[in-house]
Chain A
């Protein structure tokens, strides 16, 4: 049995959270092989964020690799009580990507929004067409709000300027978007259950 097979079986048996904690403990004890089941599980989601953030697939590949190296380097600082592993890994990937983008444009200061505006212009070509899942069912302004902060790495302060709405309004967009997402997901969940019940009598 390969390690990947072992972790797959272990994951099913123990539940995702327990599996993550088990792998994280292995990582903390110096077992680098524990990184690869975590990579298999989260690299797609993180790569999706990095690609949308830097708009350069080749660069995104390097940044994904760098992000996981940093996860390995900083794993001792991860505290499960403070949040999920994915949240922590997302922050590392986001910061790795933004730091690279800032370094590659030395004339642009951290608070200078032009870099984001340029990327927003680039994004207009592909824009939210690249988003999938339940988020696509949100209203456009909600999609854009989530997209700006989650996939493009903007702060709320930056994003409300990009959307040209007051900060308070933007914060409401985010809250409403997340609430709507959960509502839609719940509806889909009940629809799936109904289909299941009807299908099986």
Chain B
């Protein structure tokens, strides 16, 4: 399609009026894209037609604009058109962004809630463990204080260690007693006593001028048993008595004794 034919056939005018076939239009546009002079000529024709239109304009009633405004509002909301489609796409795009943000926020909140619950559980567990540790610490402190007391008592220079060895009735029994006349205390380690049946018990006695005075029961298997200090005791004696002890010693059940 040459330039002369385009002008003589009135293709430019027909293009402006919109009466070209699609094939003719495509051919013309192809030529226009390469021929600046022809394109300029077409732009002049466009301006001419526009000028004719403006010179013959008729003012439409004002209500048409209001009707158009209403129609465009409706068009935009019912999404029937490409333009309203793009508007609603924009709108739905914004809604998608908002929904995504809301979902992220909800997920974030849920995650925070789960984390918070986990933290709360961890905190409760820690609290329980702390309480247990505190109890153990208190026990250890008590144990330490007791051990320290025993150590102090046993290693006190005033404490006199006495070793009691079992006689023929209980040859394997060994007992250590610490007598402190200054602090008036008696500590006994009964780990070396032979264990007794449940219905019998060991009992220690102090011999004062021929009279046996009760110092207390002596459970076996203990390394630190405080007993009653008896003034002017001459010897310490251990007998086997019925469970709960006796008021007077059963002399024939004497298993060991030591003189002070």
Contact = CB atoms under 8 A, between A and B. Distances in A.
Given A76-B86, A174-B13, A178-B48, A35 B57 contact: no
Interface in B53-67: 53-61, 64-65, 67
Given A29-B90, A171-B9, A73 B64 contact: no
Contact of A94 (B10, B17, B80): B17
Interface in A20-66: 27-30, 32, 35-36, 39-40, 43-49, 51-52, 61, 64-65
Contacts of A83: 15-16, 42, 46
A182 B75 contact: no
B76 interface: yes
A94 B59 contact: no
Nearest to B73: A32
Nearest to A67: B68
Contacts of A39: 65, 68
Interface residues of A, number: 57
B155 interface: no
Interface in B3-58: 7-10, 13-19, 29, 42-58
Contacts, number: 157
B132 interface: no
DSSP majority for the A interface? helix
A182 B58 contact: no
B68 A87 contact: no
A161 B59 CA distance: 32
A105 interface: no
B39 to A, nearest CB: 10
Contacts of B43: 84
Contacts of B87: 30, 32
A12 to B, nearest CB: 17
B157 interface: no
A134 B46 CA distance: 16
Given A30-B90, A90-B53, A178-B13, A61 B61 contact: yes
A156 B14 contact: yes
25 contacts: A30-B86, A35-B72, A44-B58, A45-B53, A45-B56, A48-B53, A48-B58, A69-B72, A69-B81, A72-B83, A72-B84, A74-B83, A76-B82, A83-B16, A84-B46, A90-B16, A91-B18, A94-B17, A134-B55, A146-B52, A150-B53, A156-B19, A171-B8, A181-B48, A185-B51
Interface of B: 7-10, 13-19, 29, 42-61, 64-65, 67-69, 71-73, 75-76, 80-84, 86-87, 90-91
The 7 residue pairs across chains A and B that have the minimum distance between CB atoms:
A133-B55, A44-B57, A73-B81, A91-B18, A45-B53, A30-B87, A171-B10
Interface of A: 27-30, 32, 35-36, 39-40, 43-49, 51-52, 61, 64-65, 68-69, 72-77, 82-84, 86-87, 90-91, 94-95, 130-135, 146, 149-151, 155-156, 171, 174-175, 178, 181-182, 185
